[in-house]
Amino acid sequence: MTVRSRLRFTAPWLAALLTVASLCDAVTAEPTYAEWQAACAKLPTNRSLGGRLPPKDLLPLAHFDELGRVLDAFFAVSTNGPLAGVANWSGTAPKPDSFLNVARNWFSPAEIPFQPFAEKLRLPASAKVQLQGDLHGDVHSLLALLGHLNDQRSLDGFAVRDPDLHLVFLGDYTDRGMYGVEVLYTLLRLKLANPDRVHLVRGNHEDLSLIARYGFMAEGRGKYGRNFDAAKILRAYDFLPVVLYLGAGKDFLQLCHGGMEPGFQPASLLNAPGTNRFQLLGALQQAEFRRQNPDWLASDRDAAAAAQEQFRDFTPTAPTLPAVIGFMWNDFTVFRDDPAFAHNPERAYVYGQPAVTYLLRRAGEGEAKLRAVIRAHQHSGNLNPMMRRLVASQGTFRHWQEVGSAAALGAAPAALAHQLETAPERAVPEGSVWTLNVTPDSIYGQACGFDFATATTLKLGPEFTDWRLTIGPVAVPKLRKN
């Protein structure tokens, strides 16, 4: 069976079928899921490598062209699918000769204009969505999670077989681990097999400035020398939304890597007709939002002063220029009584419960409502209060369950497991923010003492009050052997 016949195209993709068929057929010779899993099982763990590259004779992809072929197929799907439909864009659609022209890249004389965008995806009330946080070059944990879905018969190899299942990955696919190439290859194979069921969100590490500093550029050059085409990978990132508003009926969640972005107001996108729509971020009006909403931080004078000092109106020219995009970078406080807003100069902005409650209500103007946030990103290489709570919560932590205190700051995961939500099924309260853990074969897992991945599944329902998260640890066999 060819990849062309294995791909599952629903109605929006039928028009693109003939265009992408030849490139998809080029992927026919790629390994099956079982072959890919077996090849990756031979790789040493990131923990055992200690920052070194694995032996070249163990690499599942001996040549960069093997990744290049699936990147070409991904470009074909991206540039001929829903993103290419002008009617699918709320507001101004991007210019096809720049946004959709993959010949233009980040290193060419005619660089593409950076055009970050938001996506809205409305699903049936029966849908369930498996969510995954940071992978950071950890292919062993990614394959353990996919193996878990195969064991449940939700997947058949790379193909989704459960008619209600969607998979959402929330960014940071590479850096800080030696298997960024293998992670990207796995995700792209999933996407190509299920273009309307697998959704990849852009994180802060899907950025030239970060892959050059945190390891992926060095990984690629170490594995493939001059044949490593970083420009091609970076161009693929341009087709990933920086935020995905996912929901059913008129209820939506904000799924992103980082956090809030007051400079972008999603009401028109959320209320736009159709099940799958997009909107360019355009100019981020942060300072204008603060001026038009003087009551936003009125109860916290220090927070209001910090926002006045930091907020600006700007048009992004790169993920961090002239300032960071909140969807990719911002964080949330841990405790209910933490400040409503603060600036962390080492990262970005940190939002507390009162500020987030206001922003969610403001975003839900009209019939559509933005109910809560699920994201990743906020991890540390030391067992700080956030990481302790992620470990104690089985990898899925709901913010603002506690009031801050010296005892709370220093509490160990074992003690927190008796105080926080740890049940396998949890409600999704209005206004809640959830952070998903990073996978364990990483500097984070080793330093913070956890060896489990987490399967977090959002189950939708007829009413928002019916929505639930199911959370379960997934063993990573390769780690148990080390």
Give, for 279, the enclosing helix (H) or strand (E).
Answer: strand 276-280
Which positions ≥6 away from 305 have C-beta within 8 Å? none
pLDDT of residue 143: 98
Q: Which pLDDT band holds residue 17 (cuts at 50, 70, 90)?
A: very low
> CA–CA separation, 81 vs 440, rounded Å?
34
pLDDT greater than 80 at residue 18: no
pLDDT of residue 481: 63
CB-based contact 386:378 (threshold 8 Å): yes
Q: How far is CA 379 from the centre of its chain?
A: 14
> CA–CA separation, 259 vs 360, rounded Å?
12
Q: Which pLDDT band holds residue 218 (cuts at 50, 70, 90)?
A: very high
Give, for 75, the enclosing helix (H) or strand (E).
Answer: helix 64-80
Q: What is the pTM of this model?
A: 0.94
- Quickly list DSSP for 135-186: -TT-HHHHHHHHHHHHHTTSEETTEE--TTEEEEE-S--SSSSTTHHHHHHH
Mean pLDDT of 47-54: 96
Q: Are strands 284-285 and 369-375 parallel, antiparallel or unpaired?
A: unpaired
- Paired tokens of 23: 């490139």
Give 3-state DSSP helix, strand, coil % of the chain, rounded to 5.
Answer: 35, 20, 45
pLDDT greater than 70 at residue 7: no
User: Pick from 242, 1, 188, 203: which is nearest to 78 by CA?
Assistant: 188
Q: Which CATH class is domain 1-482?
A: alpha beta
pLDDT, tens digit, 9 for 90 and up, residues 106-140: 888 777 889 999 999 999 999 999 999 999 999 99
Average pLDDT in the chain: 93
Q: 90: how many CB neighbours lie within 10 A of its CB?
A: 20
pLDDT greater than 60 at residue 103: yes
Q: How far is CA 57 from the centre of its chain?
A: 31
Q: Which pLDDT band holds residue 97 (cuts at 50, 70, 90)?
A: confident
Q: What does the domain layout of the chain look like in residue ranges?
A: 1-482
The answer to whether the peptide bond before residue 413 is cis (omega within 30 degrees of 0) is: no
pLDDT of residue 482: 54
Give the single-character DSSP code of 240: S
Nearest 5 degrees, angle CA 238-CA 27-CA 205?
Answer: 30
Q: Give me the helices (H) in 293-425, please.
A: 301-310, 326-329, 353-363, 385-392, 406-410, 413-416
- Quickly list DSSP for 309-334: HH--EE--SBTTBSS--HHHH-EE-S
CB-based contact 192:77 (threshold 8 Å): yes
